[in-house]
Structure 1
Amino acid sequence: MLVIRPIEQRDFPALKLIAIESGHGFTSLPVNDELLQNKINHSEASFRSRPAAKGEHLYFFVAEDTETGEVVGTTALDAAVGLSSPFYTYLLGKQVHSSPKLGIYNVVETLTLTNDYTGVSELCTLFLREQARQGLNGRLLSKCRFLFLAEFSELFDRRVLAEMRGVSDDNGNSPFWSWLQEHFFSMDFPTVDYLTGIGQKGFIADLMPKYPIYVNLLSKEARSVIGKTHDKTRPALRLLEEEGFAWRGYVDIFDAGPSVECDLKHIRSVHNSRRLTVQIGHPVHTSKYLVSNTHFSSFRALIGELAINEEKAQAVITREVACLLKVEDGDTIRVVEIG
């Protein structure tokens, strides 16, 4: 069984291994010891004392195998992006060129550089190691964040986004970036991906085209991947779409992968989750639920079997599940059907 918990200092070796395995295009986990350590430090500081409101806080979680103690995945919530350094996206839009006198009316697509997501909360750093990609593990890793969002909604923006990795090959070559590189930059995609991951984003403002790019001027290969998702990221996108996330035309400035978003209160697992009182016992007529405790700094989440007593608003769980969630009789948990 996997249990989700906040990252700790002892998880650094596992985090570095995951960063290596995640490959090109996974900007939020650069293979850089200092930056990875900073993420752990940032998350620990965010969890140390519950903030009064939304701010530049990172809530970084790991998935731990309860049998082996091995960390097999990561997932995170960035409470507000773009506050201390710009958060860039392209917005796919339209411009009309018309001349009634000549009888000409043309609609062309454009890509405009924006900072529209400044202050928005982000789902990020979702990665499950290959040996753990089975059963409901992927759902747990993705959806556990929604129980945290539901329980501590005051710490997050009303809008929640997720950047999906765009199309690139095994060597890190991105068709979209190849066109940008040819016309505006002199760096390959792995290099620019790494620089962004370590926070060196100044070159974006310096070198990115300042005016809208006409999509029809891009290469056929670049046009074909706008808003498209990397093969390995499609399962994650499907899980988010189940929750109500949708693409509204924003794409990554490097690989043109889609950014999907949803109002926090409209996220299915946020809206449908509920608090129940714990009763430790031997549940019968059980169903699988995504379940978490309601603790902040010692947050835990898992997928487990439980029985619900609707009349008493109680969840009957086993002693084993209670121990993993760090709860006792009479405590409160948050549950939602896993779907």
Structure 2
Amino acid sequence: MSTPYVMRPARLDDYDALMAMAVESGPGFTSLPVDEQIIRGRLEKSVASFAGQIEQLEYGKYLMMLENTETGEVGGCSAVKAGTGIDAPFFNYRIITLAQASLAADRRFDMDALVLTNEFVGFTEVGTLFVREGHRGNGIGRLTAQSRYLLMATQPDRFGDMVLAELRGVVDKDGQTPFWEHLGRHFFRMDFTEADYLSATTNNQFILDLMPKYPVYVDLLPPEAREVIGRCHADGVGAMKLLEWEGFRFERVVDIFDGGPMVVAQRELIRTIREARTVTLEAGEATGQTGLVARCDLENYRATQFDGALHGEDRLITSPEILDRLQLKSGEQARIWLRT
């Protein structure tokens, strides 16, 4: 069933709504820090990216807002960062397995260790997915998430061949995380919230300066820390399931602060991109099929849910309201993903 929501490029006047979401998202949501300068900077960078004013494509950052077209209220957001590790290192822990064996002691076992890496350079990152309470349900989470992949399909040359998603780890409402308390705090001598803020607001040189230079044996960590390695925040379970449905897989790489999982996929194999098709829109009353529909151009990109009927392979009949949300007319093309 269609809802009145549309995903559209962020505007400078979205500042108040975006700042409100930064507050609501809580501790550990690094991509939305409660910082006026950063929030305004991200809006400006996104506006420039959608307008094609970024000379180096890998520096593009595309922030989208979920808008209720009936009320004008902003109910969420999501984003695509064209390239990670380009303007600042993107440090993580890779979990490696070390085989231990001794004939003399008649022992053979494996041990996991954490090794600092910066291996996702040039990967496109999808993230900043947040839907406010009161706007959830009825497929809104899917619209907010899948619109990012339909966006990448508009101009694939602006994005990397590999796509990454970072999920928030186990962090409580007070900003405490077992992984940080039993590991990171010993090396950084600061609270998790301060380290998380520095990560969002600096070039991350402090991580290289202070992180351990040698592998950290997982078995030496307390159970509380071991148990959360690779686990996502309770609020991120739904997002994790959507990512796995798209084809993302956990690659034994975790965040250095909260231990949250990193998942990756090849761009062209992401389910929404793989199953999407280009059609010609026609206004009319038709039902029988539902899904997502998006504009084919990046600068004026918009995506929404639809009810309609596919005629043949390349003609979609849907209501005039859907075309209005996309700011398209009958006879123009759009990209659709059909729900099966």
TM exceeding 0.5: yes
Counterpart among 300, 306, 324 of residue 302 in structure 2: 300
- The corresponding residue for 2:270 is 267
The CA RMSD measured in Å over matched residues stands at: 1.4
- The corresponding residue for 2:256 is 253
**C-alpha deviation, 1:202, in angstroms:** 2.1
Counterpart among 8, 13, 18 of residue 15 in structure 1: 18
**C-alpha deviation, 1:133, in angstroms:** 1.1
5+ residue gaps, structure 1: none
CA contact (8 A) 2:289 2:339 kept: no
Cα distance in 2 between the residues matched to 1:52 and 1:290: 31
For residues 67-100 of structure 1, the C-alpha deviation after alignment (integer angstroms, 9 at most, x for no partner) is 1101110100000011111001111111122223
**C-alpha deviation, 1:197, in angstroms:** 1.6
CA contact (8 A) 1:2 1:63 kept: yes
**C-alpha deviation, 1:230, in angstroms:** 0.6
Q: How many percent of aligned residue pairs carry the same amino acid?
A: 38
- The corresponding residue for 2:333 is 332
The 1:197–1:338 alpha-carbon spacing in structure 2 relative to 1, beyond 3 Å, is: farther
CA contact (8 A) 1:51 1:155 kept: no
- The corresponding residue for 1:114 is 117
- The corresponding residue for 1:47 is 50
CA contact (8 A) 1:166 1:227 kept: yes
Cα distance in 1 between the residues matched to 2:53 and 2:88: 23
TM-score by length of 1: 0.96
CA contact (8 A) 2:88 2:203 kept: no
- The corresponding residue for 1:323 is 324
**C-alpha deviation, 1:288, in angstroms:** 1.2
Cα distance in 2 between the residues matched to 1:259 and 1:57: 21
**C-alpha deviation, 1:290, in angstroms:** 0.8
Cα distance in 2 between the residues matched to 1:123 and 1:20: 20
CA contact (8 A) 1:181 1:188 kept: no
Runs of at least 4 residues of structure 1 off by over 6 A? 50-53
- The corresponding residue for 1:137 is 140
- The corresponding residue for 2:209 is 206
The 1:51–1:206 alpha-carbon spacing in structure 2 relative to 1, beyond 3 Å, is: closer
Cα distance in 2 between the residues matched to 1:167 and 1:143: 25
Amino acid at match of 2:285: H
Cα distance in 2 between the residues matched to 1:188 and 1:200: 19
Counterpart among 225, 234, 237 of residue 237 in structure 2: 234
TM-score by length of 2: 0.96
- The corresponding residue for 1:68 is 71
**C-alpha deviation, 1:15, in angstroms:** 0.5
